[in-house]
Amino acid sequence: MPNTAAAPLTIAVLGAAGRMGSTVCEAVENAADLVLGPRLDVGDDVATLAGSGASVAVDFTVPSATEANVHALIDAGLHAVVGTTGWTEESLGRVRSHLAEDGRGLGVLIAPNFALSAVLAMRFAAQAARYFESAEVIELHHPNKVDAPSGTAVHTARAIAAARAEAGLAAGPDATETSLDGARGAVVDGVHVHAVRLRGLVAHEEVLFGNPGEQLTIRTDSFERSSFMPGVLLAARAVPEHPGLTVGLDGYLDLG
Ligand SMILES: NC(=O)C1=CN([C@@H]2O[C@H](COP(=O)(O)OP(=O)(O)OC[C@H]3O[C@@H](n4cnc5c(N)ncnc54)[C@H](OP(=O)(O)O)[C@@H]3O)[C@@H](O)[C@H]2O)C=CC1
Ligand SMILES: O=C(O)C1=N[C@H](C(=O)O)C[C@H](O)C1
């Protein structure tokens, strides 16, 4: 929904020179109801955003910087939309506490993936998880990606694990003895996650489910970073209306 408030929302961008940050700047500039505010990169002080006219900041930086950025944004009185990966239950908890202590009703959205196809894939995977003996996640990305496994894959695996636990499912069958470390990928809450890095890829994920005699594959593909922009802009417009911490864009969508 476009922002129809009297004053257009001014959006600051952190990591503005990066692959995602530069795409966000372009998308904001092309949105009639939004104004592009300060663009921050390495070495810029987030505190300068206080009084800059920006009310929302979008962060696509690096996992090692994003938590400090969010705390600084809260101190500066800005709502935050965060796509950067690397969040843990502990770091999310610290943001939740900071927002409660701050008491100004600021909103923070932290989402591992803003592409609608990925949001739906995560939702469908969580729904399917209870019905299959086996579940594994394969994420496939461009080779310049700094982290592995992807934030989306971690989020997907955690959701599958939670749904399996709720349904009382035991660990998936696996009698393999590995002769090389890493052969079975990383294990996130009991779910195996495999990371592929390949030139030509952008951002992709397959969630594999298996039962005797049948399989289900859920796949999402982002071929271009433009795929993330409708979700980022939706979040930037909506975050002032969602005080507190929200994890996942589905928290702003009516997915039923
Ligand atoms: N949620 C989603 O839908 C998506 C999430 N992502 C995630 O977004 C993040 C960024 O990805 P991507 O754009 O590809 O990465 P890039 O490396 O292209 O961009 C990151 C940018 O952040 C800058 N930067 C690093 N530290 C800081 C800091 N402290 N303050 C401000 N800027 C900083 C970097 O500068 P420099 O290069 O000079 O270090 C760089 O310009 C990753 O965590 C990625 O996983 C990516 C795509 C979609
Ligand atoms: O670094 C990327 O490119 C992406 N990062 C996010 C992640 O780690 O899940 C989202 C998307 O997969 C693209």
pLDDT in tens, 110-148: 999 999 999 999 999 999 999 999 999 999 999 999 999
Give tens-digit pLDDT for 161-171.
Answer: 999 999 999 99
Identify whether residues 218 and 231 lie together within a single domain.
no
ipTM over the 0.85 cut-off: yes
Which of 71, 79, 98, 145 is the catalytic position?
145
For the chain, the domain total comes to 2
Q: Quick check: 3 pLDDT over 90?
A: no
Q: Look up the domain containing 191 and give its range.
A: 116-222
Identify whether residues 159 and 172 lie together within a single domain.
yes
Which numbered atom of ligand 1 lies nearest the CA of 20?
A: 13
Q: Quick check: 4 pLDDT over 80?
A: no
Tell me which residue of 73, 90, 119 sits closest to 248, measured CA to CA: 119
Q: Starting from the CA of residue 143, give the closest ligand.
A: 2
Q: Is 141 a catalytic residue?
A: yes
Cα–Cα distance, 125 to 206 (Å, whole number) = 10
Residue 1 lies in a domain: no
pLDDT computed for residue 7 by the predictor = 73
| 256 confidence band (pLDDT: 50, 70, 90) | confident
Q: How far is the CA of 72 from the centre of ligand 2 (A)?
A: 23
Cα–Cα distance, 11 to 165 (Å, whole number) = 40
- Residue 160 sits at φ, ψ, to 5 deg, of -65, -45
Fill in the amino acid letter for 222.
Answer: S
Question: Could you tell me the pTM of the whole model?
Answer: 0.96
Residue 87 Cβ < 6 Å to ligand 1: no
- Residue 216 sits at φ, ψ, to 5 deg, of -125, 130
Nearest CA owner, ligand 1 atom 45? 85
| Lookup: tokens for 132 | 């299959």
Residue 25 lies in a domain: yes
| 5 confidence band (pLDDT: 50, 70, 90) | low
